[in-house]
Structure 1
Amino acid sequence: MLIFWKAKLVLMAVPKTGTTALEEALLPHADAAIVNPPQMKHCTVRRYRNQLARFFEHRGSRPLDLVAVMREPVDWLSSWYRYRARDAIAGAPTSTAGLGFDAFVEDWLRDAPSEPARVGRQSRFLDYEDGAVGVDHLFRHDRMGDVVAFLEDRLSVSLDLPSRNVSPNGAPGLSPQTEARLRRDASEEFALWDALCDGRLQLGR
Structure 2
Amino acid sequence: MLVFWKQRLVFLAVPKTGTSAYARALGPHASMVVNDPPELKHAPVYRYNRFFRPMYEKMGAEHMDILAVIREPIDWLGSWYRYRQRPFLDGRPTSTKGITFDDFCQAYATGDRPPFANVGSQAKFIEPRPNGVSVSHLFKYENQDCLIHFLEERLSTKVDLPRTNESPKTDLELTPETLAKLHRKCAADFDVWESAN
The verdict on a shared fold, with TM-score over 0.5 as the criterion, is: yes
Q: Deviations over 1:120-158 (max 9, x none)?
A: 00000000237x992000001011121111111111111
Q: Number of residue pairs matched?
A: 196
In structure 2, the CA distance between the partners of 1:133 and 1:53, relative to structure 1 (3 Å rule), is closer
Local SS of the residue matching 1:67: strand
Amino acid at match of 1:63: H
Moved over 3 A (4+): none
Matched with 1:37 is 37
In structure 2, the CA distance between the partners of 1:96 and 1:135, relative to structure 1 (3 Å rule), is same
Amino acid at match of 1:13: A
The answer to whether the 8 A contact 1:78-1:171 is kept is no
> What is the distance in 2 between the residues matched to 1:195 and 1:146?
14
Are positions 1:127 and 2:127 aligned together?
yes
Q: How does 1:63-142 map to 2 (within 5 A)?
A: 63-129=63-129, 134-142=134-142
The answer to whether the 8 A contact 2:69-2:140 is kept is yes
Local SS of the residue matching 1:111: coil
Unmatched 5+ stretches in structure 1: 198-205
> What is the distance in 2 between the residues matched to 1:94 and 1:71?
21
Q: CA deviation at 1:9?
A: 0.4
Alignment TM-score, normalising by the size of structure 2: 0.93
Unmatched 5+ stretches in structure 2: none
Deviates more, 1:56-65 or 1:141-150: 56-65
> What is the distance in 2 between the residues matched to 1:171 and 1:193?
23
Matched with 2:175 is 175
**Aligned-residue CA RMSD (Å):** 1.8
Deviates more, 1:56-65 or 1:4-13: 56-65
> What is the distance in 2 between the residues matched to 1:149 and 1:127?
25
Q: CA deviation at 1:185?
A: 1.0
Local SS of the residue matching 2:168: coil
Amino acid at match of 1:188: A
Matched with 1:157 is 157
Q: CA deviation at 1:159?
A: 1.5
> What is the distance in 1 between the residues matched to 2:164 and 2:115?
23
Amino acid at match of 2:21: A
> What is the distance in 1 between the residues matched to 2:182 and 2:133?
21
Q: Deviations over 1:74-112 (max 9, x none)?
A: 110011101111233322322101001111111112223
Local SS of the residue matching 1:57: helix
Q: Percent identical across equivalent pairs?
A: 43
The answer to whether the 8 A contact 2:101-2:171 is kept is no
Q: Deviations over 1:14-62 (max 9, x none)?
A: 0000111001111111111211111110001111123320102337753
